[in-house]
Amino acid sequence: MTGALLAWVKRSLRDLPWRNTRDPWAILISEVMLQQTQVNRVEPKYLEFLKRWPTPQCLANDDLAELLKFWVGLGFPRRARNLHAAARQISGCHQGTMPDSLEDLLRLPGVGPYTARAVMIFAFEADIGVVDTNVGRLLARWSGDSLRPQLAQQIADGIVPKGDSWLWTQGMFDFGSTICTKRKPKCQICPVKNFCAWQGIGSDPAFQSAGVTRKQSRFEGSDRQARGLLLRALASSSLALQDAPSVMGLQGESARAEKLVRDLQREGLLNLKNDLLLLGNSLE
């Protein structure tokens, strides 16, 4: 199976900007941006980000508010807040140099097992595996079983070809997004079909398997939408507290609006000064 998949990868690997670097900072940025955000939305923002903040020190020296303004359109602003905190930790604890061990990466704010492993593979070419939604789907279908997280990680680590972790992992991502897709997988042209226990027949073992993305709740009318509308407005200018409900589309729901504002304050994404809402944390 390994040889067949690697041969496919060498013919089919997509050209993406974060695949042209081994800079761990740039790779961290790409991985954070790509969490639950489509590739075509990330590409231009990724390149713009690195022009503005090419090193952890550059971001650490800037205000969180500036990063939050930049982040509009990428969604999930907690990622930006965590990234800013990580940059400050890298600058303060690692002399501005990205950590090169899994343990130290996992200590960075907002960096979990997947992101830490991705940096280790794509920057330092460590012979370890990662489990994201595409990889989780592949592993479940190949094995024919819905996998628990620990077993999925063990399998992912065990099938990495030594010395080829970078190419193998990028290939797994592309294979899952173009061939072994969530819906209508192209089993008829799959180069590793003979090694797949499922082969598109019967119930999909990837359903609810480790790493496989669950369906998100409805966005329209959600708290996520309301929060995003407020942060987008604050990226342009400050806002009177009394205007927050209308900006969030919550006219007549003042209690809900007040709760969301408090939540955003607690998360360090906005602050209140003289009845004005502003982006960022006033304690920076």
pLDDT at 264 over 70: yes
Q: How far apart are CA 124 and CA 248, in angstroms?
A: 43
Residue 213's pLDDT band (boundaries 50, 70, 90)?
low
Segment among 79-88, 208-217, 219-228 with least mean pLDDT: 208-217
Residue 20's pLDDT band (boundaries 50, 70, 90)?
very high
What amino acid positions are annotated as catalytic residues? 31
The percent of residues above 70 in pLDDT, for the chain, comes to 96
Exposed / middle / buried, residue 209 (Cβ in 10 Å: 0-12, 13-18, 19+): buried
Q: How far apart are CA 283 and CA 271, in angstroms?
A: 9
Q: Is the pTM of this model over 0.85?
A: yes
**Model pLDDT for residues 125-141, shown as the tens digit of each residue:** 999 999 998 999 999 99
pLDDT at 281 over 50: yes
Q: How far apart are CA 25 and CA 30, in angstroms?
A: 9
pLDDT at 186 over 60: yes
pLDDT at 181 over 50: yes
Domain ranges of the chain: 23-124, 223-279
259, amino acid identity: K
pLDDT at 284: 47
Mean pLDDT value across residues 21-30: 98
Mean pLDDT value across residues 236-243: 89
pLDDT at 283: 46
122: closest CA among 34, 5, 210, 213?
34
Mean pLDDT value across residues 267-271: 88
- Look over the chain and give the mean of its residue pLDDT values, rounded to a whole number: 91
Q: How far apart are CA 69 and CA 231, in angstroms?
A: 8
Q: What is the 3-state secondary structure (H, E, C) of the chain?
A: CHHHHHHHHHHHCCCCHHHHCCCHHHHHHHHHHHCCCCHHHHHHHHHHHHHHCCCHHHHHCCCHHHHHHHHCCCCCCHHHHHHHHHHHHHHHHCCCCCCCCHHHHHCCCCCCHHHHHHHHHHHHCCCCCCCCHHHHHHHHHHHCCCCCHHHHHHHHHHCCCCCCHHHHHHHHHHHHHHCCCCCCCCHHHCCCHHHCCCCCCCCCCCCCCCCCCCCCCCCCCCHHHHHHHHHHHHCCCCEEHHHHHHHCCCCCCHHHHHHHHHHHHHCCCEEEECCEEEECCCCC
Mean pLDDT value across residues 113-132: 96
pLDDT at 225: 87
pLDDT at 192: 93
Tell me the torsion sign for CA atoms 49, 50, 56, 62.
negative
**Model pLDDT for residues 33-83, shown as the tens digit of each residue:** 998 888 999 999 999 999 999 999 999 999 999 999 999 989 889 999 999
Phi, psi of 271, rounded to the nearest 5 degrees: -140, 160
Q: How far apart are CA 198 and CA 196, in angstroms?
A: 6
pLDDT at 118 over 60: yes
Tell me the CATH number for domain 23-124: 1.10.340.30
Q: Which residues contact 3 (CB under 8 A, 6 or more apart)?
A: none
Residue that the structure tokens 């082969």 belong to: 199
Residues for the chain: how many in total?
284
Which CATH class name applies to 223-279?
mainly alpha
Cα first-last separation, the chain: 52
